[in-house]
Structure 1
Amino acid sequence: MGKFCKCNGRLLCMCLLPFMMTGHLLVYILVTIFVTISYTPPKTPVHFIAPGSSSSSAKMAPHPLNPFWNLRQIDTALWNHLQHGCDRLYNPLLRGNTSIATQLTKTRLVWCMSDCMPEVGLHTTSNKVKSMSDQMRAFVSSMHCREYPYIINQPGLCSSNETLDTPLLLMAIKSQSGNLENRQAIRETWGRSGHVSGEYNIRGGLVRTVFLLGKQEYKPNSKIHDLLEKESKTYGDILQWDFNDTFFNLTLKDVLFWRWFQQYCPKAVFVFKGDDDVFVRTDALVDYLNKQWEEHSLWQAYTNETDKGLDLFIGEVINNARPNRDPSTKYFIPESFYQGSYPSYAGGGGVVYSGSLALRLKEVSDKVSLFPIDDVYLGMCLSKLGVVPSHHPGFLTFDLPNTQRGNPCAYKSVLLVHRRNPREMIALWNHLRNLRMRCFR
């Protein structure tokens, strides 16, 4: 009898063992699920507080809160909406998908490519565009247009004299038809074409100057158009396109100039782009550029990367800027058009960049929707290329202090100052030449 009970107990244990193991497994699964649901990760300390602000710790670099345009779509701002479409269109991963690429091409291609198709300007009928200012509506209605015919062209400007070398510096100066006195003062002073000696006559380089113009509406019987044609025949340095020369269309002068540069002057080593109311110490700039080119040539020889161009871009760099939301200013950008901060950019009074970078800017500009502020747009194109503009203390686009403006020796370390009328340009040019030995030792 005892044997039988002992045997039955073993049999019972063997029968219950699978059920016990399954029960333990079930309890383990339930506990794991409960712990996972109830777990709260520890909070990570926030080191960066606001866009453009630096951390209090010296070990941490400044960190922008957001890029100047996001990969995600911002439907409430027109420019961001259009740029989102362009980014997707040129995304190599999406373009590999035939169905997605076809759909994107149909909806966004006309806004990203360079062809000007008037029928695309249907966005002007939307409520958000109707609420914009007249200036902004005019820009939006034509911001897809990037092809304009020449009224005046200078195809031989960089190759008119075969005995001269490739230009070291091409000066592209934004002007308007009526600013004849400004252009003439520039030709007689800092923008004179030809061989320019360095500051101490050690070395110089060939400089070519060209003025970038659109067209303007003139009063009846105005002689400005005739004077402009005569000016072009006399000096051969006027580039004019058939678009309205407005403040918001200054961006077009960059885009169209890059196309002209690629076709007619692609071997120029450096480009100066500026306004016709700045003053440039060209001899000092030539010295600086010669030094940059020599260092780049040495670097090419050392690394054996002779095909790699120089990505030089200098000016008075502005960081962490935001759109101007004051409707009373000419820089006003409404939230319905653009949201976000601006990329780093250089003040539009004057910048210098390498010719190889100018060619890259031409290519990337087709992938960046036009923006009505030209220096900001240039910063956008640089950001798209991954090029960081370099700040140079010699570029004073906001001018010298008032107490120093009349002192020629205060310009010893200056390469550019903004806001000079024609009379001031000529006077300053003469003062700097006469006092060179005394001020620049």
Structure 2
Amino acid sequence: MAIKNIWHSFLQETRSYTHQIKKPFILLLLALTLLFLLFSIAYTTEFSLDTVMYPQNWLTKVMNQTHNKVIDSIWANHNQKHILVPLPNQQIQRRGTTVYYHVAHPSNYQYILDEPDKCKQIPFLVLMVPVAPNQVEARNAIRSTWGNESTVQGKAVITLFLVGLTGGSESEKTQQQLEEESRQHRDLLQSNFVDTYFNLTIKTMVIMDWLATRCPQANFSMKVDSDMYLNMDNLMTLLLAPNTPRQNYITGMVMWNRPVIRDKNSKWYVSEELYPEPNYPTYLLGMGYVFSNDLPEKIVEASKVIKPFNIEDAYVGACLKHLDIAPSSPPDPSQFRAYLGQYIREDFFRVITTILGSPQQLIDIWKDVKRPT
């Protein structure tokens, strides 16, 4: 009734000034007032988006049980939107005008698939592979190549894959397949973040959390992408070298003074709101970097105060800068290669990591490199 009276009074006032004010201005004023009244109604009735009812598919149910409510989603790539509604006492970061995501700190997320006892036998090295839920072929290629090497130069190695949640009509089927794959191989970790390119920072921080909470006793860990060739012998030689530090050590392909991309059409766009500096701190290219296993806990702690942004490897660099830990150049920088170009067998004897084009290419090259000479 009070709102109705306010509206009636406003109309009376408006009519009295009609001869002085132009019609477009009156319409604008009416629209603004109506908007104000709608917000007033929302406030007085304690209306929130959380009270709106949405169809409860499998993904929404899982997210509701943990941290997020997914309202509207198009999942194909990071340029398309996914909107997360905050539950009480949660923070949402905003990117541009359409994309929202939770802060990267891993305490915002929980594990759906886990292997909490995987490190009971205390591995020397843990390989953590972020991979999309539907990339079964990539996981199987790794399982049959470098991920199958459980002992290298007498040191125990384990390989684990981390996935998030997928969406769309195939989400429930994909989840069932992941659970079956997990039962078969016991090497899958899954957390309840939405698995998109834009959320790679979250994915990396969940990796760090798993290492800090489930496997702190390992000596070294490596975050390595699923499209990589990894020479395990060369990696182990690097880690066993007497001058390789066992604490505060991280190495790979070092990036110095890399400018922040401000082009909104770029895959690597970061707004000034998320990261105001013109250049990133020194960081390791995300394709594959290895680190002493005291660092995950420290990086997770740093992430509590370092504002997240969507370039995952640069974000780890920002956490390291906060910790006053400088990334190290490898003894032979040419061992961490982006691309080798035309296949030459001898090149793969020398590298530690390089990017490949497909899971089948990994299998073919691995077979050729391992064949007797």
Structure 1 gaps, min length 5:
1-115, 197-202, 298-308
Q: Deviations over 1:115-142 (max 9, x none)?
A: x865554775xxxx6xx153xx313x65
Summarize the alignment of residues 65-84 of structure 1 with structure 2, pairs less than 5 Å apart. Answer: none
Task: Check conservation: 2:335, 2:353, Cα contact below 8 A.
Answer: yes
Q: What is residue 255 of structure 1 aligned with on the other side? A: 205
Q: How many residues align?
A: 285
Tell me what 2:227 maps to. Answer: 277
Which one of the candidate residues 274, 281, 288 is aligned to 2:238?
A: 288
1:281–1:414 contact (8 Å) kept in structure 2: yes
Check whether the contact 1:212–1:238 (CA below 8 A) recurs between aligned residues: yes
Amino acid of the residue matched to residue 427 of structure 1? D
Change in Cα spacing, 1:158 to 1:420, as seen in structure 2 (3 Å) is: farther
TM-aligned CA deviation for residue 336 of structure 1: 3.9
Change (3 A) 1:273 1:214: same
Q: Are 1:324 and 2:261 an aligned pair?
A: yes
* Candidates 164, 179, 184, aligned match of 1:229: 179
Q: Give the aligned partner of residue 399 of structure 1.
A: 339
Whole-angstrom CA distance in 2 between matches of 1:185 and 1:256: 23
What pairs up with 1:184-203 in 2 under 5 angstroms? 184-192=140-148, 194-196=150-152, 203=153
Aligned to 2:251: 314
- 1:360 paired to 2:310: no
The TM-score with structure 2 as length reference comes to 0.71
1:397–1:213 distance in 2 versus 1, CA, 3 Å: farther
More helix by share: 1
* Contact 2:251–2:329 (CA under 8 A) maintained in structure 1: yes
Deviations 1:261-315 (A, max 9, x none): 2221111100010211111001221122112xx4468xxxxxxxxxxx5222111
Say if 2:112 and 2:190, in contact at 8 Å, map to a contact too: yes
Aligned CA distance change for structure 1 residues 358 and 364 (closer, same or farther; 3 Å): same
* SS of residue in 2 equivalent to 1:322: coil
CA contact (8 A) 1:350 1:395 kept: no
Correspondence for 2:119 among 155, 158, 163:
158
Q: Give the corresponding residue for 2:163.
A: 213
Q: Residue 346 of structure 1 is aligned with which of 280, 284, 288?
A: 284
The runs of 5 or more residues in structure 2 that have no matched partner are 1-85
Structure 2 CA distance, aligned partners of 1:289 and 1:257?
20
Q: State which of 119, 144, 154 in structure 2 corresponds to 1:204.
A: 154
Give the whole-Å Cα distance in 1 for the aligned partners of 2:352 and 2:250: 14
Is the aligned partner of 1:373 residue 2:321?
no
Contact 2:106–2:205 (Cα < 8 Å) also in 1: no
User: SS where residue 147 of structure 2 aligns?
Assistant: coil
Identity, in percent, stands at 30
Q: Deviations 1:143-182 (Å, cap 9, x if unpaired)?
A: 57742121101111112xxxx5x21110000001100000
- 8 A Cα contact 1:279 1:420, kept in partner: no
Q: CA deviation at 1:250?
A: 1.1
CA distance in 2, matches of 1:280, 1:359: 25
Are 1:174 and 2:111 counterparts?
Answer: no
Specify whether residues 155 and 168 from structure 1 end up closer, same or farther in structure 2 by C-alpha distance, changes over 3 A only: same
Which amino acid in structure 1 is aligned with residue 186 of structure 2?
A: G
State the distance in 2 between where 1:413 and 1:213 align.
30
Greater shift after overlay, 385-394 or 217-226? 217-226
Distance 1:396 1:175, change over 3 A: same
Q: Which amino acid aligns with 2:127?
A: M
Query: Which of structures 1 and 2 has the bigger CA Rg?
Result: 1
